[in-house]
């Protein structure tokens, strides 16, 4: 009887563990734009499970070949980039931007096995004004809402599967008992 419920229960536990955490595993804006000579701060949001892990910001078209720009917790020599880890977010700030700063960057959480990472494209626009500007981008509310809705839809589907499995097992057992009772009634009548 236990095995009839084991698979749906295991799937439900896996779904709850991964859907809740994956929604906030690591997210960042896909594209950020700032003016040349200005600065940009990129928020990389992560789940509480990764609070004690090392985070870093690297540049490169391919994650596996990217060059680390800044890293926590060890500070690097003074540069135009900095990283601050603050409970659920690590913010990367790049200052004095120029066209060579354009490209693909990666928010990364270093962990045993496979690192968790997401790509951010930095665009630098030429400006006539020489006054530095500051652009801050936050993760879109639509992205967070979409994951939250998907999590609950999957949770409800798993509950329906669990309920359906329970009903099917109950019906099979009831039919087997009726069949056994009919056999025993036939044996008594003979």
- Burial 55-79, CB ≥16 within 10 A → b, else e: bbbbbbeeeeebeebbbbeeeeeee
CATH of domain 29-138: 2.60.40.10
Answer for the pair 79, 97: CB distance below 8 angstroms, yes or no.
no
Tokens of 137: 């981008």
Determine the Cα–Cα distance for residues 62 and 135; give it in Å rounded to an integer: 25
Q: Is 110 helix (H, G, I), strand (E, B) or coil?
A: strand
| C-alpha dist (Å) from residue 78 to 75, 94, 95, 146 | 8, 12, 12, 39
Answer for the pair 21, 80: CB distance below 8 angstroms, yes or no.
no
Residues shown for the chain: 190
Best CA proximity match to 31, nearest among 124, 110, 93, 115: 124
Determine the Cα–Cα distance for residues 56 and 70; give it in Å rounded to an integer: 6
Query: pLDDT truncated to tens, each residue of the chain (190 aa)?
Result: 555 556 666 655 544 444 444 434 788 999 999 999 999 999 999 988 888 899 999 999 999 999 999 988 876 667 889 899 888 889 999 999 999 999 999 999 998 888 899 999 999 998 765 555 555 555 555 555 666 677 778 888 888 888 889 899 999 988 888 888 777 777 766 6
Tokens of 144: 């967070």
Q: Structure pTM?
A: 0.56
Determine the Cα–Cα distance for residues 124 and 120; give it in Å rounded to an integer: 13
pLDDT at 157: 87
Answer for the pair 125, 33: CB distance below 8 angstroms, yes or no.
yes
Our CA dihedral for 157, 158, 160, 161, rounded to 10 degrees, sits at: 120
| Domain range list for the chain | 1-25+140-185, 29-138
């Amino acid at each position: 009887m236990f095995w009839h419920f084991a698979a749906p229960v295991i799937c439900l536990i896996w779904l709850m563990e991964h859907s809740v955490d994956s929604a906030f595993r690591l997210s960042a804006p896909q594209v950020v734009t700032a003016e040349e000579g200005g600065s940009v701060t990129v928020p990389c949001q992560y789940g509480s499970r990764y609070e004690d892990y090392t985070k870093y910001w690297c540049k490169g078209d391919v994650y596996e070949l990217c060059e680390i720009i800044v890293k926590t917790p060890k500070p690097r020599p003074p540069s135009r980039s900095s990283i601050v880890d603050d409970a659920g977010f690590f913010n990367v700030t790049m200052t004095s931007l120029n066209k060579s700063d354009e490209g693909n960057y990666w928010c990364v959480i270093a962990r045993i096995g496979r690192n968790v990472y997401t790509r951010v494209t930095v665009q630098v626009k030429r400006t006539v004004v020489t006054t530095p500007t500051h652009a801050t981008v936050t993760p879109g509310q639509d992205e967070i809402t979409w994951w939250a809705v998907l999590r609950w839809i999957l949770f409800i589907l798993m509950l329906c599967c669990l309920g359906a499995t329970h009903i099917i097992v109950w019906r099979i057992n009831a039919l087997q008992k009726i069949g056994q009772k009919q056999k025993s009634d036939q044996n008594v009548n003979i």
